[in-house]
Amino acid sequence: MKTGKPRLQLKILLFTLISAATAACVLLLAFAPDFAAALGQFFVAPFSNGYYFGNILAGMAPLIVAGLGVAVAFSSRNFNLGGEGQIYAGGLAAALAALVIQGSPFWVSLLAFAAAAVTGGILGGFSGFLKRRLGIDELISSFLISAITVLAVDYLISGPFRDGSSNFQTTAPIGASLAFAKLLPPSSLSAGIFIALAAAAIGKLVFDKTRFGFELKLCGTSREFARYAGIDGGFYTTAPLALSGALHGIAGALLVFGSYGAAIKGFSSGTGWNAIAVALIARNDPAALLPAAFFYSYLETGAQSVQLGSDISSEMIAVVQAVILLFVTARSLPFTTRKKAAKQ
């Protein structure tokens, strides 16, 4: 049993990756004027130079941390659809904290990330509170809270906290002393990737080696059994959503400190939704978030490369992402179906 499950997960993951790549080829064949050139731009160009490859790794960092946040919620059978707002608000909180707090860069950065985590945690925890106390479905509450949050952050960035010296709708820059060091300039890759890797390692340790992780997954598997075992189901409704929100907030801080150097209007750019796809590909396994995030970021970089080098609209990127989501959510194809049949 112990060896069967990892093998099954590996088969599903490989099936997902091959299917997504095949779908991308079909789309290129259908829409690209020069299929051979577009194919090379999609699959080869992301590895052709340090700029593209660095951007792949840079895109991984927020996806890993936000994907871990999604995995925490999903593993407890809670559903956080508010990641986009939590990332956006967390990034703004980190940027404002970096501008206000005085001191050494290390402590300012640490407090800024703490502010991002608290902001995201409050937003996520509020959905958990509404579910626990009032029975409000967290799917609805987290989505609606996120929608309101995005509008509020848009207003704050373009209004009270806008940098008057800039032509863009952005806060003042956090400064070179606080921005993470670039690893492969001129790409966006920064030292923030190490924070993401550390988060995944800690997440794996918590999931597999701690009481919290065991009870979290037990509540996700069977809340009724967990209740009979004396586990507080209410706690594992509120806490996972709060922790999920905190991790999304940290992902927002990574975008500010690692990529943009400020809270720019719209900087989250769908990261919260993309993180759901990454968590689904990884089947909520923190260790599997690394290859899942790499693959998803690779697909996005390849699609952007094709968009720049060929006459293909940006809608193709959205179509590829939708196809990936279709495959990763089709849990019954094809290996899980055979496993269920074998049990019968």
Model confidence band, residue 23 (pLDDT cutoffs 50, 70, 90): confident
Model confidence band, residue 328 (pLDDT cutoffs 50, 70, 90): low
Q: What is the pLDDT of residue 191?
A: 93
pLDDT surpassing 90 at residue 149? yes
| 322: three-class secondary structure by DSSP | helix
Q: What is the mean pLDDT of residues 302-322?
A: 70
Q: Which helix (H) or strand (E) holds 5?
A: helix 4-31
To the nearest whole number, what is the mean pLDDT of the chain? 86
332 in Cβ contact with 12 (< 8 Å) = no
152-160 own/partner pairs: CB under 8 Å, 24+ apart:
152/89, 153/85, 153/88, 153/89, 153/92, 153/263, 154/265, 154/266, 156/92, 157/92, 157/263, 157/264, 157/265, 158/265
Q: What is the pLDDT of residue 202?
A: 97
17 in Cβ contact with 10 (< 8 Å) = no
Q: What is the pLDDT of residue 340?
A: 47
190 in Cβ contact with 183 (< 8 Å) = yes
Model confidence band, residue 13 (pLDDT cutoffs 50, 70, 90): low
pLDDT surpassing 80 at residue 2? no
Round to whole Å and give the CA distance between 296 and 322: 12
Q: What is the pLDDT of residue 303?
A: 75
In the chain, what percentage of residues exceed pLDDT 90? 56
Amino acid 225 reads F
Q: pLDDT tens digit string along 41-95?
A: 778 888 888 888 999 999 999 999 999 999 999 999 999 999 999 999 999 999 9
Q: pLDDT tens digit string along 215-246?
A: 999 998 888 888 888 888 889 999 999 999 99
List the domain boundaries for the chain: 4-343
Query: How deeply is 156 buried, as exposed, middle or buried, from its count of CB atoms within 10 A (0-12, 13-18, 19+)?
Result: middle
pLDDT surpassing 60 at residue 11? yes
Model confidence band, residue 331 (pLDDT cutoffs 50, 70, 90): low
Q: What is the pLDDT of residue 26?
A: 81
Q: What is the pLDDT of residue 18?
A: 79
CA distances, 123 to each of 53, 82, 109, 262, 275 (Å): 34, 8, 21, 21, 17
Least confident of 132-136, 142-146, 315-319: 315-319
Residues 6+ positions from 56 with CB-CB distance below 8 Å:
46, 294, 297, 298, 301
Round to whole Å and give the CA distance between 229 and 268: 40
CATH architecture of residue range(s) 4-343: Orthogonal Bundle (1.10)
